[in-house]
Structure 1
Amino acid sequence: MLNMLPRIIYPREMVIKKGSLIRLKFLDGKKAFIICGGQSFEKSGYLEKLEKHLAASKIEIVAVKRIIKDPTEDSINTIMTQLKDLNADWIIGVGGGAVMDTAKLIYALYENQNIPLSDFKAPHSVPELRKKAKLCLIPTTAGSGSEVSNSAVVTINNKKTPIISNHFIPDIAILDPNLTISLPPEITAHTSIDAFTHGIESYCSSLNNALTNSYSVAGAKLIVENLEEVIASPSNIIAREKLMYGSMLTGLAQSMTSVGGVHALSHSLASEIELSHGNLNAIFLIPMLKFNMQESPRIEEFIQQIGLGGIERLEEWISRISENTKMVKKWGAYGKEINVNEVSEATLEDISARTNPRKLTVEGVKSILEMTF
């Protein structure tokens, strides 16, 4: 009952500015375990900067683990075998949504080493953390909002599973737009569409409230106003920073309200095919909104508040982004053998479906899958 109330839970500290990675120079602690992305973070020179900042704060880096795929229960358990005896008092996740989700899941197991990850599938079942370490999250994309959210998605038994816990909200979130400069336009688009979807689904969630509504609208408006500029001019640091603000705001909103049918369907299909979460959201967003509009006037209300006027202009914006970044527009080529009945049933079971503004049905989800095939 408590967790169905509109609770307001923030990171203990957020730092948002060009060059804010320097905040690491002032951490209190002794040992840090770093979880980061692939080679690009190192090639950009920012891994070296991170190491220098931590050295200045006299924090020893006990290990660096690079993540190149979305987390699975097996991959999390493998990392845990390396971490459990290192006595880290900071877990630092630097990367996109998959990296930060991995950091959260590692943190949960590091603090509770005798509990399997699968025991955390029920919402808010992660025991209290911060007995051994603190959590710092640093995004290198403007999209997932994971740096301020209470969720982490992991594959358990071949099924994408959101793990929900307010203990995942970090002690420090550092949002430095410099870290996003080298992000390719395609990934920029995928992650930003995900962030936009957080905004509109939070606004229409059955748990929405006045505060989250203001975050959703402000964040989505920043994304709409700046995404195309960043795609056209990737080094525009001002637009990059505004995108990060937008992603952070919609991330805060969805962390308090959850999301809806777009995310539920994306989670379910992502267990079956190799398409990015953001690309799947782009495929399903307009059809799901049209499905929900039959019972929710809040969708048109939201679209008007962010300056797009109506669903047609939103559809044009999504289509333009997709064209300019070569997004996949139909999922069928990636999943011809998929059982749509099973995916539809899994969508209804996903926790995100609970807060969709219209009750989802197997037939309704199947119709969306078929029209986007």
Structure 2
Amino acid sequence: MHFSTPRNIMFGRGSVKNIERYLGEKCVIVTGKHTWENVKDLIPIDAPVLFVTRHKWKEPSQKDAEVLAENIREHSPDTIIAVGGGSVIDTAKVAWIIYENPEISWNVLYSYNIPELRKKARFIAIETTSGTGSGVSAAAIILDEEGKKRGVVSGELIPDLAIYDANFVEGMPRDVALYSGMDALSQAIEAYISTVDNIIGDTLALKAIELIYKNLPKALEKEDRAIENVHHGDMLAGMGFANSRLCLGHAAAHSLGGKYKIEHGKIVAIVLPYIIRANEKHTPKVKEVAKLLGMKDLARAIWKLNEELGIPHAVDIKDEDIEMLGEEIANDRLMKYNPRKMSKEDVIKMLRLLREGVLDEI
């Protein structure tokens, strides 16, 4: 068994002030325009700022990464600092690969066989949301030419330094804080119940579940300590799923979110009670999570949490899409880590309940 994590992690309010000791001679900052306006006064360095642009969709695409790689190449940096949420950090990770390997094809990028990085630059990630875990993970999600979500995965993508400074997330709008937090909760639950028994990853995932579930409602009310707890939960969840893997929740979210252009954090939150219900009889870990949180029915508790936070219970899935989505999800790479071996018909049953907004036995 193996556990991968950034060589260096700094966390706690004000921790970004120590970033200078990890910088090279020539840095660039990659971020989003709106994000930069909110956090630029927190960054204690002077470096060129490159903005991630969206050329086709709201989420990062191949074109976005290619353009960013060209912009990075113009500066020839030895340190890339990505400041943002998952979309910014994921785009920066893929652009970093292209910067170091200009001739690389998208088939290779999606092959889980990324060439060795760091021949030109190191990578630092500063998360400005509390939900993707991109700052500590070995993955990046990108939209292909057809708008389908694809994973670029390699241990090479784990940042050299990750910074989780809660001062960077205080200004999040409520919907961003809500859906990024629920994404982190889903990542932690999926990592813990997956078939990969990684004791370190599982331990971190379990603590992340506790921190996020107990603190997210208070964090949405701007309680300082709760905001920091959720941000640290995101950090732990990222390390958890980077090693223990995700399963049905993100397999379903990638297909549904890509098909209907639903924000990732939102679709993950909607499907979370259903994927727990689908797996609860196939692993004792669901009951272990419920016991930790002091409840008997974890799926129903998440359902009620969604209701209290204003998250929908259903997705408007079209009749003509059911078969295709069922097959796509059942054959997703992440399903090999799901506790329950689900057929296309099993997934379709879950999708029909999801469409009706009924949390029944799956």
Hey, what does 2:25 align to over in structure 1?
A: 30
Question: Which residue among 342, 345, 352 is the counterpart of 2:324?
Answer: 342
Query: Which structure 2 residues correspond to residues 1-373 of structure 1 after superposition, within 5 A?
Result: 6-39=1-34, 41-44=35-38, 46-50=39-43, 53-55=44-46, 60-61=47-48, 63-67=49-53, 69-123=58-112, 125-158=113-146, 159-232=148-221, 234=222, 236-305=223-292, 307-311=293-297, 314-324=299-309, 326-332=310-316, 335-336=317-318, 339-373=321-355
Which deviations, in whole Å up to 9, do the C-alpha atoms of 1:135-190 show, x marking residues without a partner? 00000111111111111111113221111100111011011101111112222121
Q: Which runs of 5+ in 1 are unaligned?
A: 1-5
2:294 partner SS: coil
Which deviations, in whole Å up to 9, do the C-alpha atoms of 1:204-262 show, x marking residues without a partner? 11112222221111111011111111112x1x222111111111111111000211101
Q: Distance in 1 between matches of 2:87 and 2:303?
A: 23
Shift of 1:23: 2.3
Q: Which runs of 5+ in 2 are unaligned?
A: 356-362
Q: 1:94 to 1:169 in 2, by over 3 A?
A: same
1:339 partner SS: helix
Report the more deviating stretch, 28-37 or 132-141: 28-37
8 A contact 1:118–1:156 mirrored in 2: no
Shift of 1:83: 2.2
8 A contact 2:198–2:243 mirrored in 1: no
8 A contact 2:303–2:313 mirrored in 1: no
User: Once the two structures are aligned, what percentage of the paired residues are identical?
Assistant: 27
Letter of the 2:304 partner, please give it: S
Letter of the 2:16 partner, please give it: L
Shift of 1:340: 1.6
TM-score by length of 2: 0.92
Q: Distance in 2 between matches of 1:28 and 1:298?
A: 41
8 A contact 1:162–1:351 mirrored in 2: no
Letter of the 2:255 partner, please give it: S
Q: Distance in 1 between matches of 2:189 and 2:53?
A: 29
1:129 partner SS: coil
Q: Distance in 1 between matches of 2:255 and 2:9?
A: 32
8 A contact 2:69–2:96 mirrored in 1: no
Letter of the 2:116 partner, please give it: E
Total equivalences in the alignment: 351
8 A contact 2:64–2:91 mirrored in 1: no
Report the more deviating stretch, 27-36 or 276-285: 27-36
Q: 1:35 to 1:206 in 2, by over 3 A?
A: same
Shift of 1:111: 1.0
1:300 partner SS: helix
Report the more deviating stretch, 129-138 or 66-75: 66-75
Shift of 1:309: 1.8
8 A contact 1:216–1:250 mirrored in 2: yes
2:13 partner SS: coil
Letter of the 1:181 partner, please give it: E
